[in-house]
Amino acid sequence: MPELSKKDRMKIPRQPMPEQDGVVRSGNFKEVNLGFTEELAKMEALRCLQCPKPVCIDGCPVEVKIKDFIHLVAEGDFLGAASKIKEDNMLPAVCGRVCPQEEQCEAKCVVGVKGESVAIGRLERFVADYEREHLGLKTPELKPKTGKKVAIIGSGPSGLSCAGDLIQSGHDVTVFEALHELGGVLVYGIPEFRLPKDIVKAEIDSLKSLGVDFQTNAVIGFTDTIDELMQNGYDAVFIAVGAGLPYFLNIEGENLNGVYSSNEFLTRVNLMKAYKFPEFDTPVFNVKDKTVAVFGGGNTAMDAVRTSKRLGAKNAYIIYRRSDAELPARKEEIHHAKQEGIEFLLLANPNKFIGDKDGWLTGVELIKMELGEPDASGRRKPVPIKDSNYVLNIDMAVIAIGNGSNPIIQQTTPDINFNKWGNILVDEESMATSKKGVFAGGDIVTGGATVILAMGAGRKAAKAINEYLTQN
Amino acid sequence: MYKIVNAEFLAENIKRFVIEAPKIAAKRKAGQFVIIRLNDGGERIPLTIADSETANGTITIIVQGIGKTTKELNSLNTGDFILDVVGPLGKASHIEKFGTAVSIGGGVGTAIAYPTAVALKQAGNHTISIIGGRTRELVILENELKQVCDEVYPTTDDGSYGFHGFVTQKLKQLIDNGTRIDFVLAIGPIPMMKAVAETTRPYGIKTVVSLNPVMVDGTGMCGGCRATVDNKTVFVCVDGPEFDAHLVDFATLERRNRTYKESEQEALHEHLCHFDKAFEQGLKLNN
């Protein structure tokens, strides 16, 4: 590796991510980002200053040893880099794709102070993909069996990361999944073009090879209650069921035909493969040459609107009540959406949906907004502009404004404490709930958040569960 | 994979399946449902559990072949397998000793009303069943109901069997003849449930219906099954499926159930075409 001065390193521009052309990809479900080549990855890795105090790590919820893995990439030891990441993150191929790095590690990156930060996420993705393609499954060493059994409820990011850590600590782990397929939001929510399902499957297969037992079609609360799991020999339980109860706008006309929650729309398309209807049996509203409006400005809203474009929508709108600057989605997703021809109607809020005599959606009445004083969240509060209402003709609407808490665990486990929004109350350090031996993490605790935060919670819980099982 | 241990037609197009699903059999209560997926490309559809046997670890579902999936399901036989069966889902029927309880089933709805009729009887109610069908062949489970209910009245629209008329007319007759009715459960096509609600409303008889919206996950995650009850949006899968009939907005339910009508026709058409092709090929092979 050439010895480069700090100055030389700073001169290297951030390497662009090769991607499918915007017009071409808006007609297919293949992945948008194609990933770094070895050359691009090495070049990008050389941009890292190898800071004595790598502050980037402070920005990572699972504290991946970023400096060390990037050093290995620069040296061309890609497999070594992969092992280094996997010391802290069991799902790097997923995180490299869907983490909001620009708000986390990359936001802290020293190179980013004056120029563009090191593309840590893209390097993570490259390394994980390289390992998968060149080595296949690699089995880390497992500690001797402890004879203890842990039940994990939910096979989303939080459950998977917890399972990965606990199996390595020598415990027996069973993951229960309510749906027929494993992966939670990674398979029903995030579309193929952003996170190919093969990658999720490979990550899950790697856990299976370590001995994690997966049971699908198991709705804990109904199929078995948490008490029954504990009576049946599980020494600890980790609840990682996600948020899983979509919010609606609570406005007139919301139950018209053609109005979906983002969960339903994305589940039909991603999990049930409605985009291949009638080859697959599940239908979804046929948006071909129609107009679609997605309400919300987060990553899920971007996923939904870009999906509708791929299904052939003529016009696809994001409708968001604040301005461009406040859009909560990742910058990259917004940028990609715009490239694909998504139109952004900002500072607009829906008043009511309008339908025809047969109950099909035909339009939405919007009101224009302006930004007022900052609210509790620190963002400027959107205020309606009087008499600015107008009607936008639309054929399908998708509500992507977040999720409340699924009630099934609460209804069936009376001795776990919940807050008034239905989130489980846990000790912040140990993720322990009010019920002995039961831990919880991810969106069911925090409300809707990100994949990496859920994974961080899963790891934290795994550590606490391991300690609990050692002591009990 | 879930094995079908017994499959038999109860009427034309209506088939009873006994399926090995020991965990569900042990847990399920009257009024709850399962979601099934037949095969890899299959859709998820909700079906109410008609009966179960804990000892054998089986559940019973009764299916009317209407769309692609239900027709495909009804082509399965004893010894075949269903890929996914998940449950029991939804809230169990609210059962108490009301006094006299009438359970009304329309067509295949009788299968859904059956377990609740049993539970009502077990709770000490004087239990009356009214079971309707368009014609004699479509009146199902009469013998099964006779074994548990105090009174069973079959009705047919064409008068080919039992009481000539709709279930609501029989219900009205009972009320007019002075039968004191404390509780009514009605399950069947939406127009029937709506008609029952309107029949009991003037008398203030507590009436419950089991709703049958389109579902995907069945656990509250998608919100596709939302219905309007008491002017509020509910998720039928986790808040129901049973609701106060006098508060249900049936028009919205009926309308939302038509969302995929065209797609269903298309899927069914494809299915039948494939079936025809396979049949033709079979003929060719045989000749």
Chain B residues within 8 A of A181 when measuring between CB atoms: none
Chain B residues within 8 A of A178 when measuring between CB atoms: 86, 217, 219
How many domains, in total, are found in chain A? 3
End-to-end CA distance of chain A: 50
pLDDT of A136 reads 64
Structure tokens, A426: 């846990």
Distance from CA of B206 to the nearest CA of A (A): 25
- The amino acid at A153: I
Q: What is the CATH number of the domain that holds A289?
A: 3.50.50.60
For residues A331 and A387, membership in a common domain is answered with yes
pLDDT of A55 reads 94
Is the per-residue pLDDT at B272 higher than 80? no
Is the per-residue pLDDT at A139 higher than 80? no
Structure tokens, B35: 């979601």
Q: How far, in Å, CA of A286 to CA of B259, rounded? A: 11
For residues A26 and A125, membership in a common domain is answered with yes
* Beta-strand runs (E) in A62-118: none
CB contact under 8 A, B86 and A223: yes
Residue A408 contacts B where some CB pair is shorter than 8 Å: yes
Residue A142 domain-assigned (yes or no): no
Report, as an integer, the average pLDDT of A406-429: 92
Asked if residues A125 and A211 have their Cβ atoms less than 8 Å apart, the reply is no
Q: How far, in Å, CA of B14 to CA of B106, rounded? A: 13
pLDDT of B281 reads 56
Asked if residues A154 and A239 have their Cβ atoms less than 8 Å apart, the reply is yes
pLDDT of B279 reads 53
Is the per-residue pLDDT at B278 higher than 60? no
Nearest beta carbon to residue A223 from set B23, B217, B220: B23
Best residue of A181, A214, A216, A217 to probe chain B, by most B CBs closer than 10 Å: A217
Whose CA is closest to B107, among B55, B70, B78?
B70
Q: How far, in Å, CA of A293 to CA of A304, rounded? A: 10
Confidence of residue A2 (pLDDT cuts 50, 70, 90): low
In chain A, which residue's Cα lies nearest the Cα of B86? A217
Report, as an integer, the average pLDDT of B80-100: 95
Q: How far, in Å, CA of B119 to CA of B285, rounded? A: 52
CB contact under 8 A, A223 and B259: no
Chain A residues within 8 A of B217 when measuring between CB atoms: 178-179, 188, 267
pLDDT of A100 reads 86
Confidence of residue A87 (pLDDT cuts 50, 70, 90): confident
Chain A residues within 8 A of B235 when measuring between CB atoms: 245
Report, as an integer, the average pLDDT of B6-31: 94
For residues A376 and A254, membership in a common domain is answered with yes
- Residue A402 phi/psi, 5-degree rounding, is 110, 180
Residue A251 contacts B where some CB pair is shorter than 8 Å: no
| A 192-231 residues with CB < 8 A to B | 216-219, 222-224
Is the per-residue pLDDT at B280 higher than 80? no
Global pTM reads 0.91
Q: How many interface pairs between A and B have CB atoms less than 8 angstroms apart?
A: 120
CB contact under 8 A, B221 and A267: yes
Q: What is the CATH number of the domain that holds A60?
A: 1.10.1060.10
For residues A409 and A327, membership in a common domain is answered with no
For residues A205 and A290, membership in a common domain is answered with no
What are A341-400's pLDDT values in tens digits? Answer: 999 999 999 999 999 999 999 999 999 999 988 888 788 889 999 999 999 999 999 999
For residues A114 and A186, membership in a common domain is answered with no
| Final residue of a structural domain among A104, A134, A164 | A134
For residues A234 and A254, membership in a common domain is answered with no
What are A58-75's pLDDT values in tens digits? Answer: 999 889 999 999 999 999
Asked if residues B242 and B32 have their Cβ atoms less than 8 Å apart, the reply is no
Whose CA is closest to A154, among A406, A404, A401?
A406
Bridge partner residues of A399 (DSSP): A261, A295
Range of the domain at A54: 6-134
| Final residue of a structural domain among A110, A134, A158 | A134
- The amino acid at B255: R
CB contact under 8 A, A246 and B89: no
pLDDT of A138 reads 63
Residue A140 domain-assigned (yes or no): no
For residues A372 and A351, membership in a common domain is answered with yes
For residues A128 and A201, membership in a common domain is answered with no
CA distance to A37, A472, B30, B179, per residue, from B206 (Å): 69, 52, 18, 15
Residue A179 contacts B where some CB pair is shorter than 8 Å: yes
pLDDT of A127 reads 96
Best residue of B72, B221, B239 to probe chain A, by most A CBs closer than 10 Å: B221
- Residue B59 phi/psi, 5-degree rounding, is -120, 155
| Final residue of a structural domain among A401, A417, A432 | A401
pLDDT of A137 reads 59
Structure tokens, B147: 């074994």
CB contact under 8 A, A285 and B252: no
pLDDT of B287 reads 46
- What ipTM, to 2 d.p.? 0.90
Alpha helix (H) residue ranges in A28-168: 38-46, 66-74, 78-86, 92-98, 105-108, 111-114, 120-135, 157-168
For residues A234 and A276, membership in a common domain is answered with no
Would you give the DSSP letter of residue B14? Answer: E
CB contact under 8 A, B221 and A278: no
Q: Point out the least confidently predicted range of A245-259, B154-168, B232-246, B253-267.
A: B253-267
Residue A316 domain-assigned (yes or no): yes
Bridge partner residues of B64 (DSSP): B14
pLDDT of B284 reads 52
Would you give the DSSP letter of residue A55? Answer: G
Chain B residues within 8 A of A244 when measuring between CB atoms: 219-221
CA distance to A140, A430, B79, B245, per residue, from A461 (Å): 20, 6, 44, 45
pLDDT of A368 reads 97
Is the per-residue pLDDT at A141 higher than 90? no
Chain A residues within 8 A of B23 when measuring between CB atoms: 223-224
Residue A141 domain-assigned (yes or no): no
Asked if residues A110 and A6 have their Cβ atoms less than 8 Å apart, the reply is no
Residue A336 domain-assigned (yes or no): yes
What are A275-301's pLDDT values in tens digits? Answer: 988 888 999 999 999 999 999 999 999
Residue A83 domain-assigned (yes or no): yes
Q: Point out the least confidently predicted range of A399-403, B73-77, B283-287.
A: B283-287
Chain mean pLDDT for chain B: 91
Is the per-residue pLDDT at A440 higher than 70? yes
pLDDT of B216 reads 94
For residues A369 and A444, membership in a common domain is answered with no
Q: How far, in Å, CA of A378 to CA of A157, rounded? A: 29
For residues A265 and A365, membership in a common domain is answered with yes
pLDDT of A257 reads 95
- State the DSSP string of A123-162: HHHHHHHHHHHHH---PPPPPPP---EEEEE--SHHHHHH
Chain mean pLDDT for chain A: 93
pLDDT of A375 reads 83
Residue A87's H or E segment, with its range, is none
Bridge partner residues of B235 (DSSP): B226
